[in-house]
Chain A
């Protein structure tokens, strides 16, 4: 039966490094049926329709490697799977989820393809790939397709489901330093680093951000008194509980004053530069409506600034932008706000825009500001009259390079007094490039969990690498975000090897996690007896804050269906080349395909890491080329040509010489083990371990820096000490 349709056979989320790339991807298996006979160049008008729907495709370089490359492929003729890949990526990018990597490959049988797209969120990519299929079909069949609505929907999904831009900038900065990240919830809680060496962030909070300090920062009164005690200039003021008392306080402090809620966040309920009793009383009610006590303070002259303090240093500073309009004698204030303020392309409703849209109904302070000037939203200001609309809330101008050292020092001190490692310090100053005291400047607030976006996308000035600063605060040059990770794959001998390596790491004094065919283990304890190699289970080891080293046994099936549970490993072990048999459902038909699957285990070895390869398996040994780190070969005899060759090149080799297991590098060698020792003899005879497993494990232990005598003792005691598994 003839069918010109694209059908999904299966969609798989590969959560970790996989045969396609290091990063998570969505792998869709499709059946294009008789469209196999319809490459793009034979579908009349198809290419034009597609470009019209997604003009951005011109940017796709594709295999041609230059702008317009993909369009060139369309003209030459390419098949729907490949087109879907590019359409899905374009949809994702348009929705704000930046992804570049994609692949489309024939799976074997006619019309069956594997289409792969990089994903930062599984749910979004599933919708994107479905939409890509529908869009391509619509273009083929010359039907209309609601591109705009689909992108809008995807955009909403991205906003809701992906980590926010502030968190993303930290995660990206960490990634640049090769620090892995694991998202821990549906929100912005992210773990950087692995196991015991991990740190956590939640937007601009770190695991070192003190809860008490956050409490202090929310209590403006307490913050101010703590700062004042330490000589940090603050606006003097006092709490009041009635409009009358507010006026009384204002007179005592000296006009002008500002009135604000004690416990408020952001600029809500804040009124500035008040001089009259009626203004102050009105402002009191506005502040009171925010639900906490009300504070009357001396109004500090100057502009608002936000200084971002990270780990004791000011890393970015922005200046507040005053929003104002100029009357024309014709339009109302509201209309002028639209035409003169909201028309600014930097303003928008979403978090991504550097500036907020001004809507009088949302900005009660703006209403009050206007009222003080005798205006409402409906007033028509006379021609050329300057009307101030808002003076808080938009800290959009980068002034980092102007900050005077005295100002920076006091801002950092303020954060330290409150006790915050990351803080947004709000200060009012007439000139940020001059010392504070002389100009009557003051620190007005210290905020926990400050927004980073204003520094990443300032409306003017340069963006600041605040993500890098936070990553550097969490991990200084000397700290190691990773824990030793060992990955093992092979047709056989992998379980015993992984258990023996875990045992040796345990004896080394490290709390060691192990994911193997026998289950999931933590130290001496079995956490679960089944499915220990499944991605979700295995990843638990890396989330665990007590785990100091982790060993992962993997199979080709797990690699193909889920990806690896870690991004990189210290030691990658391949004991033998797995067979294709049993993987037919994954479109693996022959053993020849296997090296290409298994090479992922080599791809993920860190540059300072080690590959441990079976020299006696040519296919395995050939994968050495994909390893960024060093290579250790093992073999049952020191005479194997590959062992001889590698040793001559000063590489590490491990082999059996009669009854001795030898670790050798160049001319140096250590006899690590004698198989005639009763304990080892028993171990091998009882088939707890075999000779290959001992070789692979010893080579790995050596790579992990475990001393020979501990290796020897560890192998002797393997499976014999109480509680060992």
Chain B
């Protein structure tokens, strides 16, 4: 067995909506159809008993080793704690070649699982050893390493529940929610509105305290000390007991509490001084509480206890700690609800202060504290007390947060009980922490977990907003680019800043930000990250869809212009029109439940996709009596068609008309394929509620020139002859072009064509066969990219298509696109028509425009 190509499908894809690893796997004859009834399965189960049932692509069919690889990859991830369920193996039409697809939650983990699965298969085959534990622990470690931490994770989970799309911006905890102009960012429990100044204030305990004092929030009095003597003087003034801590500290480092004598005070000063300026404060009696404020609300509260053990009169401190650490809930990092108590020098130092050593046996019931602070990360515990918090306490804590100016913060309160106002019990706020840990609230050691992630998301996305901007995805065989550009233009007419991707580039609000073929998910993702995008229109080509899946989890509108007889068939295991339509319907499958599929009723492959759409469907067709469309209309659903020189958009009794004469792109409706594109774009604009007057205005101002839609039916006048430049490169496109130019009066008709090498022979021949019925003269040229074909091969195929042509009387082949254009132009007289099927769009258009300009210059002279 050999694994040849591995891809990560990072969005909804051909196989499922799940993010998945896709591998091309070739199996030797003896590795196909080998399970059940093979030693392999037995051996495999011996090493990895948890592997699920091994079955072929359909239940009952025998399974190949590729199937085994699939199930092992899935099961390894499951055993490592990843929640994955989807996997699939499909035989391609090439004998022994399979496509194996396995869901992942983390791409790196999925890839690693696949590589371990491959090794396991080999080990089984070679009957060598395999260390399953090693594999699982590596996977587990990697997963813990790369997946979001619990705080960020809880926020992301809450976002997903609310339908808010997200994307990680770093390998760390920075996440973007929403798209385009509606995007927001978080980093752990900080949001993009968390003020940097406020964070600096929170870091400065003294400043924080003075501001809280101004806000009427009780705080422990005290101040920073210049030196030890000054510190002691402050302690005397405040009155013992006091707390000594570093001015700018975190995680409780260097803090000593409840200092009652000079000796301990001196030690405490020294400890704190290691971290910077030292602060002396009144010691507040009671417990440590952490109150979480999000926005202007208190959303959770926990009582925190330092790591401690309780003596039983028989075990040593060390043994007691080991016993506590044996609790399976205690892990090593931040991912579990409790962390193991660290038994290090700090703990031993703390023991010393209690006159204990690691080997001392504390009497029964004695509480032995192992650390001065109550942080979970050093083994402390948290008990949820959210429901206990007195309204006055909550009010003070919210006031503290607002005074400092942080929108999400953990306020540390020391008091005897949160059940009564702080003022009644000498309690106070000791610290305000920006970017607080959420773990103690999500999964407290004791008590009820709180959905603080939801609180954060509700704070960031109030009023049910989900951060989405409308996405319109466009696919099909022909007309995609024109439809994309026109749809974008209609949205722009609605005063939206539109992001658009197509085969010519990426455009945001009229500015081109990338060039080249940008019809893949990478470009679409970039548009969704751009801060100035209010709506997006994406040309969704097959290549990117196969390579990576969609760039979005769902779209508001999916347009499928047509399938015709397909294009690019035979590449990447997409062999038949059915295969192609399964691929292209992915965008229809991923329409939002309240979204719209815009489908060509006249194209059977497209019309069939209606059944797969989770949202609504608008059908379009030129012919109002087209049966699919007519039925849909009769059912009171949305349809767009042409009738008596009008575009008609209709739903039930309501309809709206726009005269085709007001839509220059269609040339009074003469150019059928452009009219179809217009119908699709109108349906899409309607689906995202663009007002009719804006649609009409947009249609009237859209010009298909080389600026508007380069390479799509660009019409020029050349010495009285009509030139049409188009990028059409498949039989359907050429058929449509022939229909369109048939409507244009002309004497002699000339066409210039090349053939792209990556089409099937038949598709190349078909193109000239169609042209042969409609053109008097055909100029053939060889295009720049022959894609693996030998010199002259394509020209030969094109000539074959012209054999026995009904109309063509002159055929000529030329080297080079510009030469071919020159040759054709030389043969034209006024009143003739020439269709130039260009290849290098930008260069060829510039060349043609240059030629046209020359003649005009001559004229003006």
Contacts and interface: CB of A to CB of B under 8 A. Distances in A.
Interface stretch (B195-203, B584-592, B609-617, B740-748): B195-203
B511 A205 contact: no
B174 A230 contact: no
Given A522-B216, A545-B402, A212 B514 contact: no
Interface residues of A, number: 40
Interface in A186-212: 189, 200-202, 205-212
Interface in A522-540: 522, 525, 527, 539-540
Contacts of B508: 230-231
A230 B192 contact: no
Contact of A211 (B196, B215, B402, B532): B196
Contact of B526 (A209, A230, A543): A230
A680 interface: no
A184 B403 CA distance: 12
A215 interface: yes
B185 interface: yes
A210 B529 contact: no
B287 interface: no
B197 A417 contact: no
A229 interface: yes
A226 interface: yes
B531 interface: yes
Contacts of B525: 229
Interface string A37-69: 000000000000000000000000000000000
A189 B207 contact: yes
Contacts of B187: 212, 215
A239 interface: no
The B contact surface, by secondary structure, is: mixed
B421 to A, nearest CB: 10
Given A207-B405, A210-B192, A416-B532, A231 B198 contact: no
B215 A205 contact: no
A380 interface: no
A539 B215 CA distance: 11
A282 interface: no
A231 to B, nearest CB: 2
A448 B197 CA distance: 12
Given A211-B195, A231-B508, A419 B185 contact: yes
B569 interface: no
Contacts of A123: none
A222 interface: yes
A229 B403 contact: no
A419 B192 contact: yes
B204 interface: yes
B199 A230 contact: no
Interface in A293-318: none
A310 to B, nearest CB: 16
Contacts of B196: 205, 209-211, 213-214, 448
B10 to A, nearest CB: 15
B391 to A, nearest CB: 13
A216 B531 CA distance: 15
A222 B204 CA distance: 28
Contacts of B402: 545-546
A185 B197 contact: no
Contact of A209 (B195, B216, B513): B195
A201 B199 CA distance: 13
A540 B529 CA distance: 43
A544 interface: yes
Nearest to B434: A211
B531 A417 contact: yes
Contact of B185 (A209, A212, A522, A541): A212
Contacts of A200: 195, 197, 405
A234 B506 CA distance: 17
B211 interface: yes
Interface in B600-657: none
Interface string A401-421: 000000000000100110100
Nearest to B188: A212
A413 B531 CA distance: 8
A185 B170 CA distance: 35
B777 interface: no
Nearest to A448: B196
Interface string B164-208: 000001100010000000000111001111111111110010010
A558 B403 CA distance: 27
Interface in B392-442: 399, 402-403, 405, 434-435
B85 to A, nearest CB: 32
Contacts of B194: 210-212
A231 B213 contact: no
A214 B198 CA distance: 13
Given A200-B405, A230-B531, A527-B216, A212 B201 contact: no
Contact of A208 (B195, B200, B403): B195
Contacts of A546: 215, 399, 402-403
B190 A211 contact: yes
B405 A209 contact: no
Contacts of B434: 211
A184 B526 contact: no
A232 B508 CA distance: 12
A212 B174 contact: yes
A206 B403 contact: no
A244 to B, nearest CB: 24
B399 A202 contact: no
A212 B506 contact: no
A229 B530 contact: yes
Contacts of B526: 229-231
A547 B35 CA distance: 76
A323 to B, nearest CB: 33
A209 B197 contact: yes
A570 to B, nearest CB: 21
Given A207-B197, A207-B198, A231-B513, A540 B213 contact: yes
B514 A226 contact: no
Given A205-B197, A207-B198, A230-B508, A212 B532 contact: no
Contacts of B193: 208, 210
B571 interface: no
Contact of A231 (B211, B403, B514): B514
A528 to B, nearest CB: 9
Nearest to A526: B216
B405 A213 contact: no
Contacts of B191: 212
B204 A185 contact: yes
Interface string A216-247: 10010010001001111000000000000000
B228 interface: no
A418 to B, nearest CB: 10
Contacts of B186: 212
Given A202-B197, A525-B216, A213 B192 contact: yes
Contacts of A448: 196
A147 B637 CA distance: 92
Interface centre among A201, A219, A544 (most CB of B within 10 A): A544
Contacts of B264: none
B214 interface: yes
24 contacts: A184-B207, A189-B197, A200-B197, A207-B405, A209-B195, A211-B194, A211-B199, A211-B435, A212-B185, A215-B174, A222-B169, A222-B170, A226-B529, A230-B529, A231-B512, A413-B531, A413-B532, A417-B530, A419-B185, A525-B216, A539-B214, A543-B211, A545-B403, A545-B405
Interface of A: 184-185, 189, 200-202, 205-216, 219, 222, 226, 229-232, 413, 416-417, 419, 448, 522, 525, 527, 539-541, 543-546
Which 7 A/B pairs are nearest by Cβ-Cβ distance?
A231-B513, A540-B214, A527-B216, A211-B196, A229-B526, A543-B214, A230-B530
Given A200-B405, A215-B174, 17 more contacts: A205-B197, A207-B405, A211-B199, A214-B196, A215-B187, A216-B174, A219-B170, A229-B526, A231-B514, A232-B513, A416-B531, A417-B531, A522-B215, A544-B215, A544-B216, A545-B403, A546-B399
